Amino acid sequence: MGISAARQALAFAGLEPQELDLVIAATCSTERVFPACASLIQHGLGARNAGAFDLNAACSGFVYGLDVARQFVQTGLQRNVLVVGTEVFSRLLDWKDRGTCVLFGDGAGAVVLQASDEPGGILSSVMGSDGSGADLLYVPGVCASPLDPLVNEHHHLVMNGAQVFKFAVRMVVDSTRQAVCDAGLALEDVDLFIPHQANLRIITSATEALGIPQEKVFVNLERYGNTSSASIPIALCEAAEAGLLREGQRVALVAVGGGLSWAAMVLEWSATTQTMAHNLSALT
Number of residues that make up the chain? 284
Catalytic residues: 59, 196, 226
pLDDT digits (tens, 9 = 90+) for 176-189: 999 999 999 999 99
Task: Decide if 62 contacts 69 (C-beta within 8 A).
Answer: no
Q: Which residues contact 96 (CB under 8 A, 6 or more apart)?
A: none
Residue 34 neighbours by CB under 8 Å, 6+ apart: none
Q: According to the model, what pLDDT value does residue 55 have? A: 98
Taking the C-alpha atoms of residue 279 and residue 142, their distance in angstroms, rounded to an integer, is 28
**DSSP label at residue 274:** P
Span 136-155, mean pLDDT? 76
Report residue 146's pLDDT band, with 50, 70 and 90 as the boundaries: confident
Cα gap 6→82, rounded to integer Å: 7
Which percentage of the chain shows pLDDT scores above 90?
A: 76
Q: Please give the Cα distance from 105 to 271 (Å, whole number).
A: 32
Mean pLDDT, rounded, for 94-104 = 87
When pLDDT is averaged across residues 11-31 and rounded to a whole number, the result is 95
pLDDT > 50? residue 275: no
- pLDDT of 52 higher than 70: yes
The reply to whether omega before 260 is within 30° of 0 (cis) is yes
pLDDT above 60 for 213: yes
pTM comes to 0.92
Please report, as a single letter, which amino acid is at residue 44. G
Higher per-residue pLDDT: 86 or 90: 86
Q: Are 72 and 81 a contacting pair, CB within 8 Å? A: yes
The kind and range of the H/E element at 128 are: strand 121-129
140 neighbors 148 (Cβ within 8 angstroms): yes
In angstroms, the Cα distances linking 276 to 108, 140, 238, 253 are: 11, 32, 9, 15
Q: Which domains does the chain have, with CATH numbers?
A: 2-114 (3.40.47.10), 121-270 (3.40.47.10)
Residue 271 has pLDDT above 60, yes or no: no
* Peptide bond before residue 35 is cis, with ω within 30 degrees of 0: yes
Q: Is the pLDDT of residue 95 over 50?
A: yes
**More confident of the two residues 15 and 156:** 15
Among 196, 223, 226, residue whose Cα is nearest residue 92: 226
